[in-house]
Structure 1
Amino acid sequence: MSEEKLMSKKKPAYPVTEQLHAYLKEYNRDIKIPIFYEDLLRFSGSVVVYDKNDEDTLWIRVFYNEFDREEIDLSLKRVYSILHSDGSDRILQFLNVDAIDYCTFGNSKPFRVKIRNVLNDNYTYFYVKKADASRVYGLELEHMLSPYNLNFLVYKDTLIEEHIAGIPGDVFIKDFLPNCTEMEKAQIAKEFVKFNERCMIRLLGDMRSYNYVIVSTHDFDHVVYRIRAIDFDQQSFEGKFKVYRPQFFKENNVMVNMVRDKLQRSSVDQYKVEERSIVAKRLISYNERMEELLACAKNDTISVPENVERLKMEILHFVQDVEFKKATNMGQILEAALDFVKRNYEDINTRGLFRRKT
């Protein structure tokens, strides 16, 4: 299936509702910040940002007039303090805004801010984006259901996201994977199976290779690889079930082939069961908070009716659970999927999740 047929041409941005803002405020995600996305659009000039191979990165480095730059720099340093520290001005004297980059590629058109500690030259990034309800739901679900905690802020129509470190999947597949040992390739194949399962369960779409990163951690006698999503724009929007399964994107063909070559079918099934069980445990752990988030989603509009109708019927075909047929919006489909995981947790080893009919 071609990419054009698999994905919609463009997903609309959905506003953050008052109910979702109230949820974010309860969990310290909705905090007043001194700058908005629109403020950063006032740049007066830009230059293209190239990588080390002199290829266009699709980012441009933006510049502001002297008066605006002074105000913007101070506000961005305060945002860093709110995001990573106690929000006070004590650390501002030790911070410098080294660069502000703008990406014209994709739906969110984010700004990437590079903040450096002038005392030791350590630096980090964060992103300033237009707040989109789909992305907020995606970030919250990732925080609760994946192995990784996420740090982000929403204020009115502006979203601040911390940087997720790692090697972009497309770069890793091209430049690093060929040099991995056979044992490392088998371990990466295992992680792709679990990543594929997790995205499918929580309905995170469009995980093409450039929308996730590979994170390597050195253990005492080997390197451990993990796969992390970095783009949450396509949370519960598309109507095609395949969009929520990374294995069906051509950009991931190398990963899919590696799974086929390195893992036996029984091992693939085992890793799927492991991931479903872990997600079920996280659902139980975050039960009250998840119920509040799903209440927001069920009262929200984050997709179009034809996508809702198609997705619920495609999942129904896989799991034969009538609860999906009852769903009238994406929030209800998501709730049905997560409830299915919890209900089947005790006998999940024998029943399977989202299993294709034989």
Structure 2
Amino acid sequence: MSEEKLMSKKKPAYPVNPKLDAYLDKYSRKIEIPIFYEDLLRFSGSVVVEDAEGNDTLWVRVFYAEFDREEIDLSLKKVYSILHSDGGDRILEYLNIDAVDYCTFGNSKPFRIKVRNILNDNYTYFYVKKTDASRVYGLELEHILSPYNLNFLVYKDTLIEEHIAGIPGDVFIKDFLPDLSNREKAQLAKEFVKFNERCMIRLLGDMRSYNYVIVPVHDFDHVVYKIRAIDFDQQCFEGKLKVYRPQFFKENFQMVELVRNRLQKNSVDQYKIEERSIVAKRILSSEGRIMQLEDIAKLDNISLPENIERLKGEIYDLTLDMDFKKSTTMGEVLALALDFVKRNYQDVSMKQIIEKKF
């Protein structure tokens, strides 16, 4: 299936409604910041950012007029302090804003801020984007249901995201994958199966290779590879179930081939069950918070009617759960999907307890 047919042309941005805003406030995601996304659009010039091989990265480095630059730099340092520290001013004198880059590709058109500690030259990044309810739901679900915590802030129409470190998937596939040992390839194949399952369960779409990173973790005498999503724009929007399964994007063809060549079907099924069980445990351990988010999403407008109709039908065909056919919003579809995973885990656990007892 071609990419044009698999994905919608463009996803609209959805506003954060008052209930979601209150939820963000409750969990310390809503914090007043000294600069807005619109402020960063006042740049007066830019140059193309190229990679080490001289290729266009689709980012441009922007420059501001002298009377704007000092104010913008100070505000961005304060944002860094709020995001990564206690929000105080005492660390600001040790920080420098080395670069402000603007992405010309994709829906979110983010700014990437490079912040350097002048005492030791350590640096990190954070991102400034326009607030979109889909992205907020995606970030919060990633924080709760994935193996990784996420730090982000929302204030009015501006979203601040921490940088997720790792090797971009497309770069890894091209430059690193061919040199992996057979053992490492098998381990990465396992991780891709789990990542694929996790995205489908929580309806995170568009995980093409450049929308996730691969993180090498050194563990005693070998390297373990983890996969992390880095783009959450396509949370609960598309109507095609395939969009929520990374395996169906042509950019991931080599990862799919890795699974096909390195794992037997029984192993793939085992890893899927493991991932569903882990997600179910996370749902149960954070059930109060998840239910609050679900209740807000159920009443929210975060997709198109035709997408909702198609997705609930396709998930019904997969699960044969009649509740999906009765759903009327994308939030209801999401809540039912998470509940389906939780119920199946609990049913299996209860069955095992009964079999053990009797």
TM-score band, normalised by shorter chain: over 0.9
- For residues 168-179 of structure 1, the aligned pairs below 5 Å read 168-179=168-179
Task: Could you tell me which runs of 5 or more consecutive residues in structure 2 were left unpaired when the two chains were aligned.
Answer: 352-358
- Equivalent-residue separation in structure 2 for 1:347 and 1:183 (angstroms): 35
- Equivalent-residue separation in structure 2 for 1:292 and 1:71 (angstroms): 38
Q: Which residue of 2 aligns with 1:356?
A: none
Supply the AA of the counterpart residue of 2:130: K
Contact 1:273 1:348 in 2 (8 A): no
Supply the AA of the counterpart residue of 1:297: A
- For residues 1-358 of structure 1, the aligned pairs below 5 Å read 1-348=1-348
- Equivalent-residue separation in structure 1 for 2:77 and 2:236 (angstroms): 33
Supply the AA of the counterpart residue of 2:95: L
Task: Could you tell me which runs of 5 or more consecutive residues in structure 1 were left unpaired when the two chains were aligned.
Answer: 352-358
TM-score, normalised relative to structure 2: 0.97
- Equivalent-residue separation in structure 2 for 1:90 and 1:296 (angstroms): 38
Q: Which residue of 1 aligns with 2:354?
A: none
Structure 1 vs Structure 2 CA RMSD? 1.1
Supply the AA of the counterpart residue of 1:56: D
Task: Please report how far the alpha carbon of residue 242 of structure 1 lies from its aligned counterpart in structure 2 after TM superposition.
Answer: 0.4
Q: Which residue of 1 aligns with 2:356?
A: none
Task: Please report how far the alpha carbon of residue 323 of structure 1 lies from its aligned counterpart in structure 2 after TM superposition.
Answer: 1.1
Task: For residues 234-285 of structure 1, give each alpha carbon's deviation from its aligned partner in whole angstroms, at most 9, with x where no partner exists.
Answer: 0000000000000111111101111011001000000000000000000001
- Equivalent-residue separation in structure 2 for 1:213 and 1:155 (angstroms): 27
Task: Please report how far the alpha carbon of residue 296 of structure 1 lies from its aligned counterpart in structure 2 after TM superposition.
Answer: 1.2
Task: For residues 161-192 of structure 1, give each alpha carbon's deviation from its aligned partner in whole angstroms, at most 9, with x where no partner exists.
Answer: 00000000000000000000000000000000
Task: For residues 306-337 of structure 1, give each alpha carbon's deviation from its aligned partner in whole angstroms, at most 9, with x where no partner exists.
Answer: 00000000000000001101110100000000
Q: Secondary structure at the match of 1:344?
A: helix
Q: Secondary structure at the match of 2:176?
A: helix
Task: For residues 191-229 of structure 1, give each alpha carbon's deviation from its aligned partner in whole angstroms, at most 9, with x where no partner exists.
Answer: 000000000000000000000000001111100100000
Q: Identity of counterpart residues, as a percentage?
A: 77
Q: Which residue of 1 aligns with 2:355?
A: none
- Equivalent-residue separation in structure 1 for 2:292 and 2:41 (angstroms): 34
- Equivalent-residue separation in structure 1 for 2:142 and 2:312 (angstroms): 22
- Equivalent-residue separation in structure 2 for 1:295 and 1:158 (angstroms): 24
Contact 1:34 1:79 in 2 (8 A): yes
Task: Please report how far the alpha carbon of residue 349 of structure 1 lies from its aligned counterpart in structure 2 after TM superposition.
Answer: 8.5
Task: For residues 129-179 of structure 1, give each alpha carbon's deviation from its aligned partner in whole angstroms, at most 9, with x where no partner exists.
Answer: 000000000000000000000000000010000000000000000000000
Q: Secondary structure at the match of 1:10?
A: coil
Task: Please report how far the alpha carbon of residue 347 of structure 1 lies from its aligned counterpart in structure 2 after TM superposition.
Answer: 4.0
- Equivalent-residue separation in structure 1 for 2:301 and 2:346 (angstroms): 33
Task: Please report how far the alpha carbon of residue 350 of structure 1 lies from its aligned counterpart in structure 2 after TM superposition.
Answer: 12
- Equivalent-residue separation in structure 2 for 1:94 and 1:284 (angstroms): 42
Q: Secondary structure at the match of 1:46?
A: strand
